[in-house]
């Protein structure tokens, strides 16, 4: 018997679809329901590698964790990784299949993938009691409806009821709810069951008259009003949870275990990928993480991180144009800590040969690390494990660049001390491994080295568990759904589909 399903759509991007989907998943699994997440098509530079070596969006990996299941390529069959203003790398079933312009993708390729994504969804529904699907952007993007495979296209193809999430903190949520429904065709509107208000501040009783009027206007009920909560935006996909020259948004900095705090500056390079790598640093009591784009903002940093990017050569040019490259060179020469991750590691090397990503050919790197990088057409997608600074460490690799390390100390080694990845010269480190800082023992050892080099009396807290903190966040999301949504009505939707006889709201989609 095929399991139930639900599509969580949104009035806009960043309305809260990812976290609401994760919250519903965690609520269901705590009820004993076998549940899986699904997103037909994801556009994100934050990705993850599954156990079988498939690349999917980090949001779906986080949602799989909410379901307490291993993430697989079935959960995100299409991933688009922007490489510029008008083109993206297309990752199909976890493997890159080429670069494509937005016009080329929406002009025909996307619609041909509908059968693939519906097949993946059917496989998940055959093996689970429920599949909670996440939409993308808004389902009322009328210019893209003909080729849509992620919003109403997948809902229609699989007969899924649709719950529309609106971020009331932005304002205009009633107009957004009504307008979203009114711009859908009659057939699409038949599947829109109702609404969920996200990020509400204040007295819900003041909102209730509006919800009643919305029901009268649309014939559709509101399934819950979720209150605003800090610190719930985990593993987002469409936008940085940061503002430049600002701290990681919504992160609470706990008091340090030692006498000093540790200041971390992250260079906000173009096409930044997997900026979630620094979440584990921000979770440490007394560590303050900021994203910066000016050289003077590196002056008081105890550690500078050059993160991953989908455009290594472009990021290198950006660092030089802004004067950040010169400051990084001064830091390295003075023995002040710098960490490069993936693309950030590559550009710290001597030179780059790139006929794949930028097609720029030979490009001189910053020359801080004795590393030469050649871009291969085949993408490395692995989940390695090793040891660093005397501690076990795990991570995942997503890169075309192949590093030839010509010297320096090994950063990550196997149990016999043989180099597995990366390089260290003085207080400059580089690694291809994303997620390594989530290994608690290694993170604490690394921060102790940084503190010593920076002359800070900072002491890592002995009991910070990043995995436990992630579980606490997911449980908080589940609590939000359980406490502030009509869970009985939600389960009826998942199990039985959209109510019959929902009224049509004119004008509907244009012909």
**pLDDT, tens digit, 9 for 90 and up, residues 122-131:** 999 999 999 9
Per-residue tokens: 441: 């023992």
Instruction: Give me the DSSP letters along 328-375.
Output: HHHHHHTT--EEEETHHHHHTSSEEEESSSS--EEEE---SSSEEEEE
Range in 13-27, 211-225, 237-251, 297-311 with the lowest mean pLDDT: 237-251
418 flagged as catalytic? no
CA 285-289-295 angle, 5° bins: 145
**For the CA atoms of the chain, what is the radius of gyration?**
23
Q: What is the DSSP letter of 109?
A: I
From the list 342, 400, 432, 484, the catalytic residue is 342
- pLDDT above 80 (res 250): no
Total H helices, total E strands in the chain: 16, 29
CA distance 183 to 173: 15
Cis upstream peptide for 507 (omega within 30°): yes
CA distance 280 to 461: 13
Q: Is the pTM of this model over 0.95?
A: no
% pLDDT > 90, the chain: 86
**pLDDT, tens digit, 9 for 90 and up, residues 469-497:** 999 999 999 999 999 999 999 999 999 99
342 flagged as catalytic? yes
Q: Region 429-442: what's the mean pLDDT? A: 97
Per-residue tokens: 489: 């009505």
Per-residue tokens: 239: 């936008």
Range in 106-115, 219-228, 365-374, 410-419 with the lowest mean pLDDT: 106-115
Spatial CB neighbours of 210, under 8 Å, sequence gap ≥ 6: 174
CA-nearest of 321, 238, 319 to 45 is: 238
- pLDDT above 90 (res 107): no
Phi, psi (deg, nearest 5) at residue 50: -80, 170
């Amino acid at each position: 018997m095929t399991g139930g399903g639900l599509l969580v759509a949104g009035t806009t991007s960043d309305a809260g679809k990812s976290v609401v989907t994760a919250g519903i998943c965690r609520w269901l699994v705590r009820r004993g329901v076998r549940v899986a997440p699904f997103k037909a098509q994801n556009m994100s530079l934050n990705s993850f590698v599954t156990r079988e070596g498939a690349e999917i969006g980090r949001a779906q990996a986080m949602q799989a964790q909410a379901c307490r299941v291993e993430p697989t390529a079935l959960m995100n069959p299409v991933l688009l990784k922007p490489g510029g203003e008008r083109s993206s790398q297309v990752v199909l079933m976890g493997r890159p299949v080429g670069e494509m312009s937005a016009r080329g993708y929406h002009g025909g390729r996307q619609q041909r993938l509908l059968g693939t994504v519906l097949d993946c969804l059917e496989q998940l529904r055959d093996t689970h009691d429920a599949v909670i699907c996440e939409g993308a952007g808004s389902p009322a993007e009328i210019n893209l409806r003909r080729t849509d495979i992620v919003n109403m296209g997948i809902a229609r193809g699989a007969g899924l009821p649709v719950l529309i999430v609106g971020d009331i903190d932005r304002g205009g949520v009633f107009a957004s709810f009504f307008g979203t429904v009114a711009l859908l065709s009659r057939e699409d509107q038949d599947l829109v069951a109702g609404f969920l208000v996200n990020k509400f501040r204040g007295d819900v009783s003041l909102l209730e008259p509006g919800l009643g009027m919305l029901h009268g206007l649309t014939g559709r009920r509101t399934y819950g009003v979720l209150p605003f909560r800090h610190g719930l935006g985990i593993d987002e996909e469409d936008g940085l949870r940061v503002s430049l020259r600002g701290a990681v948004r919504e992160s609470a900095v706990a008091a340090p275990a030692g006498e000093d705090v540790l200041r971390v500056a992250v260079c906000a390079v173009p096409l930044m990928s997997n900026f979630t790598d620094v979440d584990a640093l921000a979770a440490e009591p007394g560590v303050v993480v900021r994203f910066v784009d000016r050289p003077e903002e590196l002056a008081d940093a105890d550690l500078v991180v050059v993160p991953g990017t989908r455009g290594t050569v472009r990021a290198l040019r950006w660092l030089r144009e802004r004067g950040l490259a010169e400051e990084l060179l001064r830091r390295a020469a003075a023995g002040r800590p710098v960490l490069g991750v993936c693309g950030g590691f590559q550009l710290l090397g001597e030179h780059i040969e790139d006929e794949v990503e930028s097609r720029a050919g030979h490009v001189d790197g910053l020359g801080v690390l004795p590393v030469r990088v050649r871009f291969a057409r085949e993408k490395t997608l692995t989940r390695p494990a090793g040891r660093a600074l005397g501690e076990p460490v795990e991570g995942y690799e997503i890169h075309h660049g192949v590093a030839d390390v010509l010297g320096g100390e090994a950063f990550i080694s196997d149990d016999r001390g043989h180099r597995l990845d990366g390089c260290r010269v003085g207080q400059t480190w580089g690694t291809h491994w994303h997620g390594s800082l989530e290994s608690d023992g290694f993170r604490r050892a690394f921060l102790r080295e940084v503190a010593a080099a920076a002359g800070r009396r900072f002491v890592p807290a002995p009991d910070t568990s990043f995995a436990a903190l992630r579980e606490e966040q997911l449980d908080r999301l589940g609590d939000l759904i359980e406490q502030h949504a009509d869970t009985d009505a939600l389960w009826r939707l998942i199990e039985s589909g959209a109510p019959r006889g929902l009224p049509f709201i004119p004008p509907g989609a244009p012909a």
